[in-house]
Amino acid sequence: MRRSMLGRLAVAACSLSLLTGFAPAAVAQADGGGHDRSYKKVGYFTQWGVYGRDFQVQDLEANGSAGKLTHINYAFGNVSPQGRCFTGNVPGEADAWADYVRPLDAANSVDGVADTGEQPLAGNFNQLRELKAEHPGLKVLISLGGWSWSTHFSDAALTPASRKAFVESCIDLYIKGNLPQDGARGGAGAAAGVFDGIDLDWEWPGSAGDTDTTYRPEDKQNFTALVKEFRTQLDAYARSQKKKTKYELSAFVPTAPAKIDAGFDVRRIMRDLDFVTLQGYDFHVSGEPRTAQQSALRARGDFSVDGTVDAWLRRGAPANKLVMGMPFYGQGWTGVSGGGDGMGQPATGPAPATWAAGYEDYKALKKLADSGTYTIHRDRRGGHAWLFDGTTLWTYDDPQVLRAKTGYIREHGLGGAMFWSLDADSADGELMTAVDRGLRGR
């Protein structure tokens, strides 16, 4: 954003407030390179991470990440076969226990006070509310869908009536906070104020996603209409509450040009979305027969972050609404043969790992890197790194890679950075700190 444009932007922002009824955010100052300094730092908090990984909301305060984030995306909210947002205690489909029923003791609570049996809101939702009280500028969005829970998105978006009912149900459950009663927990307005908006993580409109996910050719136009319906209803509810700022609306979007073209009318959806988070990882995965980069900044003739950004810009997306996705995990192969540094070589299968074969948190990969048994390799031109011990290879992002990526964000005037997922960072929030410092130019 050029300094000479700031005056005109301020006038435009005031005009926009008259049209929408919302007060504009203060016009951000520009940094020395001419780019907006108010970058978004969006981290996904996983509902299930509170179990095996024992990563609680309070850990974001303990490791210093909470004060560096601008947004937390809570993963995930599900869509029912009837095309409604819902919650409950349904194994594999919904986890109200983690969301708002589970009591936390004082040691695991943001405010240091144990939950009681009588309070209507407990669990992650209450902890997120407490975290926002400590960090008033922090926003929390409910992320709907994800790879496993995009099953019924196409049905929910199919008709004007289904879209209207779907959006109404999501606003009622998450924005108005009208939770199902579960003993003393839940009830009308129990979660009001926890969520500041909605993130659409439909994987993918118009093209294949998970094995049971429905998709149709008309998903592209229906997704556009769904985004419009969310924008319209969120704005209407904000005005009814005399809210000074609007509820935010974002979407997670793919890297492959074929998937972009099949499901996304880029110019139209970007009018109603506050920002999109770009898939900046899983360019290659451990199920493939050869090792490969999963998150390179640049890669000639292959998927890359730079290629993803370019694909969205070419289709009309504003640069300042593009938020770069970064992995806080690695993809790994074992049985790697062919010698050399291991990259691009045949492998026998996914590498053994803590939670799922071929997928490992950064905090575990950092220990491997520090163990002396693995060598760190870097493609400095491509902007990616990997670990290799002669048999097993892990491709991942470390602080040095993230510094290059945040430099790219600043150089190209992008909207910020997103990370999957916060529970995979080191105990001292090393990756979050690297992103924060990088976006500050430090």
DSSP 44-81: EEEGGGGSTT---HHHHHHTT-TTT-SEEEEEEEEE-T
pLDDT at 327: 98
pLDDT at 71: 98
pLDDT at 164: 98
Task: Tell me 347's DSSP state.
Answer: -
Question: Residue 433 — left, alpha, or beta (φ > 0 → left; ψ -120 to 50 → alpha)?
Answer: alpha
pLDDT at 9: 33
CA 49 to chain CA mean position, Å: 15
154: Cα within 13 Å, side-chain hemisphere: 19
Catalytic residue chosen out of the listed positions 118, 134, 168, 203: 203
pLDDT at 37: 56
pLDDT at 157: 98
pLDDT at 8: 32
pLDDT digits (tens, 9 = 90+) for 5-61: 333 333 333 333 333 444 433 333 334 333 335 999 999 999 999 999 999 999 999
pLDDT digits (tens, 9 = 90+) for 91-111: 999 999 999 999 999 999 999
pLDDT at 32: 36
pLDDT at 1: 34
> How many helices (H) does the chain have, and how many strands (E)?
13, 19
- Residues (pLDDT < 50) of the chain are 1-36
Both structure tokens of 277? 């988070």
Query: Annotated catalytic, 134?
Result: no
Delineate the domains of the chain, giving CATH numbers in brackets.
1-36 (no CATH), 39-278 (3.20.20.80)
Strand partners, 376: 387
88: nearest Cα among 104, 73, 77: 77
